Amino acid sequence: MTFNDIFKSSFLANVSSVSYFDMALALVLAFVLGLFIFFVYKKTYQGVMYSSSFGVTLVALTMITTLVILAVTSNVVLSLGMVGALSIVRFRTAIKEPLDIAFLFWSIAAGIVLAAGLIPLAVCGSLIIGVILLLFVNRKSHLNPYIVVIQCDSSDTERKALAYLGENTQKCVVKSKTAQKGLVEVNCEVRLKGESTDFVNALADMDGVSSAVLVSYNGDYMG
C-alpha cells in the first residue's frame, strides 16, 4: 500500500455518504422531538424529586440515536460493526420510576424512526404518545392509594380510630404498627370515597389521637 492508497480508502468515500442538508434536518427535527418528550416528561412527572438532568438526557438521547442511525443507514458494513460495538455497552444506572423507562424507549424510538426517513411517523407517533401520557398519567382519581399515619395513646383509641377510618374510607388496610409505652403508631393504606380529605381533620380531633397524617402512596411500600 502506497501513500496515495491511504487517501483512496473507503474512509474518505464515506464523507459524502450523508448530505449536509439531511444531517441538519434530521438533527433539528430530533432536537424538536426531544424537547417535546422533555415537555411531556416534565408535565407527567409524579416522583418525589424532579431531576432536570434526566429531561435533558431525553433530548440528547433522541439526537444521539438519530446520529447513529444516520451513520448505519448510509453504510451496510458500518451497520454490522455498529451492532457489535453497541453490544458491549452496559448501563447500570437504576431506574426508580417505571414510567422513566417508557420515556427512554420513546426517545430511542423517535430517533430511530426519524433517522430512517419516516418523518410523518416520528412526528405523528410522538404527538399521539404525548397526548395519551398527558391524559392518563395526570388523571387524578380518589381510588389512588394513600397512607394514613395515626399516633394515639392506647389500644382503645387505636380501635376507635381504625373503626372511624373504616367507616369514612372505601378501603382500609393496616400496613404496619409500632407500639411504645404510652404511644401507638399505625400506618394504614386507604382508598378514599371521594375527593374530600376532611376525615383526617376529624380523626386528629379524636380524644387520645395526637396526630393524623395523610400522604400519597406510590405503591412501593416497604414494611
Whole-structure pTM value: 0.61
8 A C-beta contact, residue 153 and residue 210: yes
* Residue 7: predicted pLDDT: 47
Instruction: Provide the residue range defining the domain that includes 32.
Output: 3-137
Residues of the chain with pLDDT under 50: 1, 3, 5-8, 220-223
208 is a domain residue: yes
pLDDT score of 68: 82
Res 32: pLDDT: 93
DSSP 3-state of 143:
coil
Task: Characterize the bridge pairing of strands 183-192 and 209-216.
Answer: unpaired
Position 127 scores a pLDDT of 92
Do both 124 and 177 map to the same domain?
no
Is 169 found in the same domain as 103? no
197 plus 100 within the same structural domain: no
Task: Give the number of domains in the chain.
Answer: 2
Cell numbers linked to 185: 403508631
What values do phi and psi take at 127, rounded to 5?
-65, -45
174 and 105 both lie in a single domain: no
pLDDT of residue 139: 66
Asked whether residue 125 falls in the same domain as residue 182, the answer is no
Q: Which of 110, 184, 191, 89 is nearest to 148 (CA)?
A: 191
Q: Which helix (H) or strand (E) covers residue 72, if one does?
A: helix 52-74
pLDDT at 2: 52
